[in-house]
Every structure is written in structure tokens, then in C-alpha cells.
């Protein structure tokens, strides 16, 4: 009995060793590699670039005052439509003390001179009426009187202009700000009571309002230096505005900057394109937008997903399946690429099966 038990135990241990050996052997066996394949397709290849930017008016005018002072009244609000010559604001002039004093002094001198000339003129006129003095002497006094009167009027107007920005005689008012363009008021950056500075040769002056023609808008953005050489004036552009969903606006490229600028370490070139507006859609100035520019396009060409193609320094090739899981390296010539599919000029046929390259993303694409 004891021998039977020992025999069973020994056989069990031997069976365990055998099973373990078989299990480990099977685990160590290398599974056959099965390569994923794809096929060429007939599709459209569209090469395009994206320019990021915003929508801006083609014509935007900053309305500035002709005098310095304080905003006494505003006649417009953002969103209002204005015409050329329409009142925008009224400025209360705070006269310069020195300028005001000079104007008052000139007026006092003009009054004194006028009063003195009037006394002389009245006496000379009385003598002239009595035929005591000659015509030439009287004419000379008339001229002096006219000059004194003109000087008095000029000094009076000058003082009124310094104090109020307008004179009663001329009716002109430099303290009223008028619109110099027709369009929509985009912004009124000042408030009633704000101090403003006149526009002159030394400074731009304070902006009272921004007026723009919202019927003429353009896309303004930047293109990378690697793509700018492929652009041409007059190329069609599709504009996608983030704030307006499910709608694409058409535009025409009209400007490419001759000089690039450095933006975050990369050279960018400014581009502009006139946007063709469609009825019923109001586009606001300042909307962020992307411009899709088609650089090249080919319809119904033989193409491969780029994940199936191997690019070397001096050659391009694919691995073509000749029989199940057996591949032959074949050199090909490529054409246009859209980043997903690449045009095949020659080297393979539509029926060929191509091995997917390991470590390279693969997108099988779609056929037309």
C-alpha cells in the first residue's frame, strides 16, 4: 500500500514537471507577425494652408477734436449709424490763461484805438461836410476808421474763439466735433466730463469715436513663411468665423506683406482679403476667423494614405504584398499631398496591397 502511494506521488510530480515544461515551451514560442495592409484609392487631393486672424473694416476712421477741453455732450452711441458732417460731440473749452489774457489785452487796445479814431473821424467828417478839408484828407481818415473797426471786430472774434471755440460773426464752432466719414459708430472711448486733447502736429489727439463702413469688411491674418511663396493675389479664400457657426464666407486675397514679422519665434507674413458678405448675416468687427487658402488641387487621382509610404532622404517606397504576408519593396513617385493622402504618380496599381509601416500613423482614408 505504501509503495502504491509513493508511486502515485512520484508519477504526479513527473506529470507536473512535464506539464510545466510543455507550458513554458508553448509560452516561449514566437507568434507569427501579421502585418496590417491597405490599398490605394481614387480620391481628390486638396493642398491648403490656414491663416489665423480677424475680421476688420476696410475703412475705419478715428474722430478727434480740433480743440482741447472737456466733453460737454455726446450725441452718438456705439452701434449708431452716422453721416458725414453729423455732430458727434461738443467740447467745453477751458481756455489757457496766458492766451486768454493776451486776447483780452488785444481787445482792450483795439477798443482804445477805435474810440480815438472815431473822435478824429467825427471831427474830420464835420469839416468835410463844411467843405473845409479836401477829399484826399477825408478819404485817408475813412481808411483809418475802417482799419480800427476791423481790428476791433477781429479782436472781439479772437476772444470769443478763445473762450467758447466759436465767434458770433463767423458762426463757425471749433468745439463741435463732426463725423468725417459715413458709417457705424464702433466705439465711443470717452465719457461726458472726460478731458480731451486736440489733434495737432505734436500728438494724435484724443479719439472721440471710431466710425467704420461695416459694408466693406476684410480678413486680416498671418501666414507662415513656408507657405507664403505659394500665395498669389486674387486667390479665392474661404473664411470661417468662430462666432458664426455652420457658415463659410468667401473672400479674395488682395494683399501679401512684402516683409515678414517675428511672431512667437516664427516668421509670419500679413495677408488681407476682402470678405463677400451674404444678406441676413451681420458680421461684427473684431471677430476671430480662420482663412482656408487652397494652394493646389487634383481631382480623382491614385493616392495612398501617408501611413503606408516610407520617405528616405533620396527615395520613396512602399512594401507591396506579393502573397499572403510576403512583401516586396517597391519604389514609387509621389505628387501632391494634403497631409492625409498623397498622390501616386507611378510605381503601384489600384489593386495592390501595401504594408503598413510600423510606428507610422495610418489612416485608411476614403474612396470616391
What Å distances lie between residue 240 and 34, 91, 169, 228, 316, CA to CA?
44, 42, 57, 20, 36
Query: Taking residues 205-217, what's their average pLDDT?
Result: 92
Range name among 30-34, 120-124, 207-211 with the lowest pLDDT average = 30-34
How far apart are alpha carbons 239 and 293 in whole angstroms? 9
Q: Is the pLDDT of residue 212 over 90?
A: yes
Query: Taking residues 172-180, what's their average pLDDT?
Result: 80
Q: Is there a contact between 330 and 20 (Cβ–Cβ < 8 Å)?
A: no
Write the CB contacts of 339 (distance below 8 Å, at least 6 apart in sequence). Answer: 306
Q: Is the pLDDT of residue 97 over 70?
A: no
User: Cα–Cα–Cα angle for 150, 152, 153, nearest 5°?
Assistant: 65
pLDDT in tens, 120-157: 888 878 877 777 778 788 888 888 888 888 887 887 77
Query: Taking residues 217-245, what's their average pLDDT?
Result: 90
pLDDT in tens, 306-323: 888 888 878 888 888 888
Query: Taking residues 260-274, what's their average pLDDT?
Result: 91
How far apart are alpha carbons 300 and 149 in whole angstroms? 90
Environment class of residue 261 by beta-carbon count within 10 Å: exposed (0-12), middle (13-18) or buried (19+)?
exposed
Query: Taking residues 184-202, what's their average pLDDT?
Result: 89
User: What are the strands, taking DSSP E only, across 75-162?
Assistant: 81-82, 87-93
pLDDT reported for residue 325: 80
Query: Taking residues 76-105, what's their average pLDDT?
Result: 83
pLDDT reported for residue 198: 84
pLDDT reported for residue 368: 34
Query: Taking residues 190-204, what's their average pLDDT?
Result: 86
pLDDT band at 25 (very low <50, low <70, confident <90, very high): low
pLDDT reported for residue 367: 36
Query: Taking residues 227-251, what's their average pLDDT?
Result: 89
What Å distances lie between residue 113 and 99, 155, 159, CA to CA?
21, 12, 17
How far apart are alpha carbons 178 and 34 in whole angstroms? 79
Quick one: which H or E segment has residue 55? strand 41-57
Query: Taking residues 247-274, what's their average pLDDT?
Result: 91
Q: Is the pLDDT of residue 55 over 90?
A: yes
Cα 271 to the center of its chain, rounded Å: 9
pLDDT reported for residue 98: 66
Q: Is the pLDDT of residue 2 over 90?
A: no
The SS3 of residue 214 is coil
Q: Is the pLDDT of residue 365 over 60?
A: no
Pairing mode of beta strands 81-82, 69-74: unpaired
Share the mean pLDDT of the chain: 83
What Å distances lie between residue 101 and 70, 159, 210, CA to CA?
21, 9, 36
- 64 HSE (CA, 13 A, CB side): 14
Amino acid at each position: 500500500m505504501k509503495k502504491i502511494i509513493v508511486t502515485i506521488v512520484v508519477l504526479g510530480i513527473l506529470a507536473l514537471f512535464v506539464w510545466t515544461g510543455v507550458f513554458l515551451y508553448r509560452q516561449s514560442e514566437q507568434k507569427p507577425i501579421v502585418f496590417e495592409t491597405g490599398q490605394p484609392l481614387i480620391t481628390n487631393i486638396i493642398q491648403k494652408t490656414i491663416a489665423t486672424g480677424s475680421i476688420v473694416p476696410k475703412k475705419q476712421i478715428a474722430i478727434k477734436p480740433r480743440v482741447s477741453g472737456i466733453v460737454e455732450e455726446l450725441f452718438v452711441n456705439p452701434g449708431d449709424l452716422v453721416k458725414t458732417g453729423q455732430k458727434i460731440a461738443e467740447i467745453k473749452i477751458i481756455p489757457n490763461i496766458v492766451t486768454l489774457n493776451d486776447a483780452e489785452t488785444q481787445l482792450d487796445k483795439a477798443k482804445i484805438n477805435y474810440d480815438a479814431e472815431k473822435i478824429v473821424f467825427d471831427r474830420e467828417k464835420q469839416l468835410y461836410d463844411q467843405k473845409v478839408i479836401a477829399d484826399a484828407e477825408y478819404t485817408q481818415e475813412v481808411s483809418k476808421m475802417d482799419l480800427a473797426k476791423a481790428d476791433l471786430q477781429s479782436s472781439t472774434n479772437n476772444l470769443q474763439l478763445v473762450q467758447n471755440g466759436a465767434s458770433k460773426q463767423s458762426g463757425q464752432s471749433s468745439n463741435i466735433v463732426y463725423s468725417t466719414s459715413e458709417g457705424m459708430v464702433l466705439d465711443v472711448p470717452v465719457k461726458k466730463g472726460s478731458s480731451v486733447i486736440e489733434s495737432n502736429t505734436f500728438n494724435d489727439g484724443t479719439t472721440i469715436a471710431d466710425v467704420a463702413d461695416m459694408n466693406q469688411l476684410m480678413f486680416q491674418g498671418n501666414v507662415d513663411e513656408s507657405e507664403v511663396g505659394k500665395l498669389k493675389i486674387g486667390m479665392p479664400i474661404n473664411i470661417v468665423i468662430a462666432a458664426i457657426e455652420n457658415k463659410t464666407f468667401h473672400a479674395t486675397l488682395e494683399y501679401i506683406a512684402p516683409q515678414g514679422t517675428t511672431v512667437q519665434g516664427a516668421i509670419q507674413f500679413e495677408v488681407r482679403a476682402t470678405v463677400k458678405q451674404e444678406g441676413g448675416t451681420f458680421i461684427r468687427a473684431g471677430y476671430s476667423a480662420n482663412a482656408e487658402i487652397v494652394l493646389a488641387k487634383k481631382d480623382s487621382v491614385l493616392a495612398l494614405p501617408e501611413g503606408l509610404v516610407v520617405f528616405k532622404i533620396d527615395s520613396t517606397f512602399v512594401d507591396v504584398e506579393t502573397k499572403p504576408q510576403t512583401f516586396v519593396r517597391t519604389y514609387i513617385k509621389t505628387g501632391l499631398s494634403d497631409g492625409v493622402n498623397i498622390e501616386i504618380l507611378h510605381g503601384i496599381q489600384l489593386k495592390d496591397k501595401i504594408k503598413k509601416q510600423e510606428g507610422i500613423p495610418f489612416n485608411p482614408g476614403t474612396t470616391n
